[in-house]
């Protein structure tokens, strides 16, 4: 039944409906209220705190250089004989990586070290022999010096004796000369008296004989005097000869001594060289086994095969240390460098770990990890950027255990908290973070200094 008869029709008061009341309101008024509400909401948002930050991409690495991946090099050239590891093996410090054999003909002798040690012993005995020769020459020099002193003293005594004999002969010569003069005077007087017939001829001849004897004595005394003078000259010549002879003998012995010393020093140099040689040979024998420098895992082998020849210093494998402290390196622009300081807090996002990041509200971000600025480079790289090292924040939760060296990271260096309107105004004007705050601090410090 349609119920359309006038008697059964139900009338509804349209003005009483709520929807009719809403439709009766002006659409402009509703729009105006919505805009006001939105403006008030935006105005309130502008006064919310915003954390200034410096954002940059980075890379995961280790904090210490010895903990980074490194290559294992062959210290000497050789021929690969045997591998003891393969890629992915975990090794301890000192484990054998590879064994190589010698390729230089100067080291083929298997008894090279023993033979060199024997040569070293012979050289050491040679040094001892030269030392004994030097000691013998020292003793000989001492004996020559003592003998020379005695011989020189003897020659000087002989010279003194000749000097005394010269004095004695000189006195005898004077006496003989005086006797001769006296005898001659007597003869002359007797001869004069004889002419006057006061003396006999016999007496004159007696005085003449006495004068001739005195003359003979005088000539003999003169001869002795000359002989004594000649003896003095001989004594002086002998003294000089003795001194020269022993000086020559001593000089010759000293020359032999210095020659022996020179030979001994040369032998000692050879001994030092051979000692170094023996040590080098012994160390080289140990270099045939290439050992792991530290605990780690073999990442990749760079040489392969058996019988392959490798050069000195060639890389044979790479190893990643087992224990390492992770860090993140990032690069900042020069204009952001003055805002950084050691110990500054950083929020990090790692590749492969999901995160919800609000750069201005790090506390409400999810999936980020804490860090602190560990070091700042004092020079720029080729791109004009400065490198910053970030270490884990010990007060924050630990970084992921599965994090590996070389992975990517996104870092946010946290600065001061400012209102959102200030941050928008700063970005519009192109000012760096905290520019005006730093200026205010400088002005306050300057005012305090002026007041003092």
Q: Clarify whether residues 173 and 270 are in a common domain.
A: yes
335 within some domain: yes
Q: Clarify whether residues 296 and 345 are in a common domain.
A: no
329 within some domain: yes
Q: Clarify whether residues 280 and 343 are in a common domain.
A: no
Q: Clarify whether residues 218 and 336 are in a common domain.
A: no
DSSP-assigned states of every residue in 63-82: SSGGGS-EEEE-SS-EEEEE
Question: Which helix or strand (DSSP H or E) is residue 162 part of?
Answer: helix 112-195
331 within some domain: yes
Q: What confidence tens digit (pLDDT) does each residue in 310-368 have?
A: 888 888 899 988 888 888 898 888 877 777 788 888 888 788 776 555 555 555 555 67
Residue 281, pLDDT score: 86
> Which of these three, 297, 321, 345, is where a domain ends?
321
Q: Clarify whether residues 240 and 346 are in a common domain.
A: no
CB contact at 8 A, 341 and 434: no
Q: Clarify whether residues 305 and 336 are in a common domain.
A: no
389 within some domain: yes
Under DSSP, the state recorded for 387 is: E
Q: Clarify whether residues 155 and 92 are in a common domain.
A: no
Residue 431, pLDDT score: 58
Round to whole Å and give the CA distance between 289 and 303: 15
Residue 428, pLDDT score: 64
39 within some domain: no
We report the CATH number of the domain holding residue 416 as: 2.40.30.170
Number of domains in the chain: 3
Contacts of 174 (CB under 8 A, 6+ apart): none
> Which of these three, 286, 302, 335, is where a domain ends?
286
> How many other β-carbons are positioned within 10 Å of the β-carbon of residue 83?
17
Residue 430, pLDDT score: 60
Q: Give me 452's structure tokens.
A: 């003092």
61 - beta bridge partners?
327
We report the CATH number of the domain holding residue 193 as: 1.10.287.620
Q: Clarify whether residues 241 and 277 are in a common domain.
A: yes
Q: Give me 264's structure tokens.
A: 């001994």
Counting Cβ atoms within 10 Å, is residue 162 exposed (0-12), middle (13-18) or buried (19+)?
buried
Q: Give me 449's structure tokens.
A: 């200094």
Residue 99, pLDDT score: 92
Q: Clarify whether residues 199 and 185 are in a common domain.
A: yes
Residue 423, pLDDT score: 62
Q: Clarify whether residues 274 and 369 are in a common domain.
A: no
Tokens 């460098």 locate to 337
> Which of these three, 262, 286, 310, is where a domain ends?
286
Round to whole Å and give the CA distance between 81 and 102: 10
26 within some domain: no
DSSP-assigned states of every residue in 379-415: S--TTS-EEEEEEE-TTSPPPPTT--TT-EEEEEEEE
We report the CATH number of the domain holding residue 307 as: 2.40.50.100
Range of the structural domain that residue 293 is part of: 70-102+288-321
Give the SS3 label for residue 166: helix
Residue 191, pLDDT score: 78
Q: Clarify whether residues 361 and 397 are in a common domain.
A: yes
11 within some domain: no
273 - beta bridge partners?
none
428 within some domain: yes
pTM across the whole model: 0.55
Task: Count Cβ neighbours within 10 Å for each residue of 23-43 and write b for 16 or more, e otherwise.
Answer: eeeeeeeeeeeeeeeeeeeee
Q: Clarify whether residues 375 and 408 are in a common domain.
A: yes
Question: Average pLDDT, whole number, for the chain?
Answer: 78
Each residue's pLDDT, cut to its tens digit, for the chain (452 residues) gives 445 545 555 544 545 545 545 445 566 777 877 887 787 777 776 666 656 567 778 888 888 888 888 889 988 888 989 999 988 889 999 899 999 988 888 888 888 888 888 888 888 888 888 888 888 888 888 888 888 888 888 878 887 887 887 788 788 778 878 887 887 887 777 777 777 777 777 777 787 787 788 778 788 878 887 887 888 888 788 888 888 888 888 888 888 888 888 888 898 898 899 888 888 888 888 888 999 988 998 888 888 788 888 888 888 899 988 888 888 898 888 877 777 788 888 888 788 776 555 555 555 555 678 888 888 888 888 888 889 888 888 888 888 887 888 888 877 766 655 566 666 666 666 655 654 444 444 445 455 555 55
Q: Give me 62's structure tokens.
A: 């280790």
């Amino acid at each position: 039944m349609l119920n359309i008869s006038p008697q059964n029709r139900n009338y509804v008061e349209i003005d009483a409906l709520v929807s009719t009341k809403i439709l009766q309101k002006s659409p402009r008024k509703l729009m105006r209220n919505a805009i006001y509400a939105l403006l008030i909401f935006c105005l309130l948002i502008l006064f919310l705190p915003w954390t200034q930050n410096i954002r940059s991409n980075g890379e995961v690495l280790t904090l210490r250089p010895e903990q980074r991946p490194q290559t294992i090099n062959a210290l000497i050239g050789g021929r690969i004989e045997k591998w003891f590891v393969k890629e992915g093996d975990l090794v301890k410090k000192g484990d054998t990586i590879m064994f190589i054999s010698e390729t230089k003909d100067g080291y083929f002798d298997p008894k090279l070290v023993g033979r060199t040690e024997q040569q070293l012993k012979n050289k050491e005995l040679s040094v001892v022999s030269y030392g004994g020769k030097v000691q013998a020459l020292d003793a000989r020099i001492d004996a020559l010096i003592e003998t020379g002193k005695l011989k020189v003293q003897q020659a000087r005594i002989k010279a003194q004796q000749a000097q005394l004999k010269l004095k004695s002969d000189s006195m005898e010569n004077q006496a003989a000369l005086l006797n001769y003069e006296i005898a001659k005077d007597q003869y002359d007087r007797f001869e004069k008296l004889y002419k006057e017939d006061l003396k006999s001829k016999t007496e004159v001849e007696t005085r003449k004989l006495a004068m001739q004897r005195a003359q003979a004595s005088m000539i003999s005394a003169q001869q002795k005097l000359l002989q004594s003078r000649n003896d003095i000259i001989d004594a002086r010549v002998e003294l000089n000869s003795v001194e020269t002879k022993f000086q020559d003998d001593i000089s010759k012995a000293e020359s032999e001594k210095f020659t022996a010393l020179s030979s001994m020093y040369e032998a000692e140099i050879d001994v030092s060289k051979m000692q170094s040689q023996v040590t080098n040979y012994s160390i080289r024998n140990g270099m045939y086994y290439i050992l792991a420098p530290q605990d780690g895992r073999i990442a990749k082998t760079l040489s392969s095969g058996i019988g392959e020849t490798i050069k000195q210093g060639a890389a044979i494998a790479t190893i990643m240390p087992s224990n390492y402290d992770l860090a993140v390196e990032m690069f900042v622009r020069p204009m952001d460098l003055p805002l950084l300081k050691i110990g500054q807090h950083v929020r990090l996002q790692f590749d492969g770990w999901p995160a919800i990041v609000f750069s201005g509200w790090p506390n409400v971000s999810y999936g980020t990890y804490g860090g602190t600025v560990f070091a700042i480079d004092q020079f720029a790289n080729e791109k004009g950027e400065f490198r910053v090292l970030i270490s884990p924040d010990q007060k924050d939760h630990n970084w992921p255990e599965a994090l590996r060296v070389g992975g990517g990271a996104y870092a946010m260096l946290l600065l001061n908290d400012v209102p959102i309107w200030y941050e928008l105004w700063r970005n519009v004007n192109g000012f760096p973070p905290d520019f005006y705050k730093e200026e205010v601090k400088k002005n306050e410090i300057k005012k305090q200094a002026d007041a003092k």
